[in-house]
A = this chain, B = another copy of it.
């Protein structure tokens, strides 16, 4: 910020021989001011190259028109798509977004939230890291009176809202589909059970297995992460047990990609040696070979709903009730998990 380059309301006011209050109001289109004065003020402001100072404006008005966002990762199809939607929705509602990335690091998450609080955002949307266990910082947010909405990866904390997809049902439908195809030996690379998405996706898996009276082999349920590395190491672990399931459901699409990598390295074939489906769509799913069927999360809607709910809470700050919004998912079928089991195992149908 160069020292003396800044044009202020006063500069405009002096030029016009009015008070800076008049200028302030005129610039904001306040009905107090006459058409002509407003026009004149705007003209001069433009000529002088006036740029309002939001820091000053916000300090004195005690609102920032800004929503803080904390996500665990940006370069991830799901998050970047949601983020894009968050920005779009905010833009159309005249809100600014201040985005931060915790990089799956709980300590960093805390720092970012503290910064955002210090920047006096009007509200906070957060998707927690995979290692977040401590609630203290969120209690602080609540105490400070800033509306807090968890998105996708949520924490069950009194006074907060949440926007998420139906992880449990979505997973149920995927497993249900696999079972109807004839699979009975089903595994699950499951993330972390401490995070809602890990837990609920596992529960959906369990629901489906129970529904069909199929046993869950504990060796086939592996925890450990939401990323590609985990998909790779998880599958390797599965393989080393010398007893592969027929079908595997992964908690995220990067985990599935890790499986693809491991499968290729091992010289196996999808879907013949191991069939697969995952939670979450991405640009890769469609192009990968074989293309990957999945549970689709409507990222646009997640972002849009989160921001709209936030704005609603900001505007009704004294009276709003926390809400828990669940957005439905749907299945996208591609090449994986699409063949009847006997198609890939013709011998099965020749049984006496």
**A interface, CB within 8 angstroms of B:** 1-3, 5, 49, 51-56, 58-59, 62-64, 73-77, 80-81, 83-84, 87-88, 91, 96-101, 103, 108, 114-115, 117-120, 122, 140, 143-146, 257, 260, 282-284, 287-289, 317
A99 to chain B, nearest CB (A): 5
In the complex the two chains form, is A146's CB within 8 Å of B317's CB?
A: no
Query: Which residues of the other chain, B, contact A317 by a CB distance below 8 angstroms?
Result: 2
Contact of A118 among B51, B84, B118, B140 (CB under 8 A): B51
Closest to A7 in B: B144
Q: Known: A99-B99, A283-B284, A288-B287. Contact between A1 and B52, CB under 8 A?
A: no
A289 to chain B, nearest CB (A): 3
Closest 6 CB pairs between A and B?
Answer: A2-B145, A289-B289, A287-B288, A80-B80, A75-B80, A75-B84
In the complex the two chains form, is A55's CB within 8 Å of B119's CB?
A: yes
Q: Please measure, in the bound complex, the distance between the C-alpha atom of A146 and the C-alpha atom of B59, giving whole angstroms.
A: 22
Closest to A76 in B: B80
A352 to chain B, nearest CB (A): 39
Q: Please measure, in the bound complex, the distance between the C-alpha atom of A45 and the C-alpha atom of B138, giving whole angstroms.
A: 18
In the complex the two chains form, is A84's CB within 8 Å of B74's CB?
A: yes
Query: Which residues of the other chain, B, contact A2 by a CB distance below 8 angstroms?
Result: 144-146, 317
Q: Please measure, in the bound complex, the distance between the C-alpha atom of A317 and the C-alpha atom of B3, giving whole angstroms.
A: 11
In the complex the two chains form, is A59's CB within 8 Å of B62's CB?
A: no
Q: Please measure, in the bound complex, the distance between the C-alpha atom of A308 and the C-alpha atom of B218, giving whole angstroms.
A: 49
In the complex the two chains form, is B145's CB within 8 Å of A5's CB?
A: yes
Q: Please measure, in the bound complex, the distance between the C-alpha atom of A83 and the C-alpha atom of B96, giving whole angstroms.
A: 17
In the complex the two chains form, is A122's CB within 8 Å of B1's CB?
A: yes
In the complex the two chains form, is B144's CB within 8 Å of A51's CB?
A: yes
In the complex the two chains form, is A146's CB within 8 Å of B1's CB?
A: yes
Query: Which residues of the other chain, B, contact A114 by a CB distance below 8 angstroms?
Result: 51
Q: Please measure, in the bound complex, the distance between the C-alpha atom of A56 and the C-alpha atom of B145, giving whole angstroms.
A: 19
Contact of A75 among B58, B81, B101 (CB under 8 A): B81
Closest to A63 in B: B1
Query: Which residues of the other chain, B, contact A91 by a CB distance below 8 angstroms?
Result: 108
Query: Which residues of the other chain, B, contact A287 by a CB distance below 8 angstroms?
Result: 257, 260, 284, 287-289
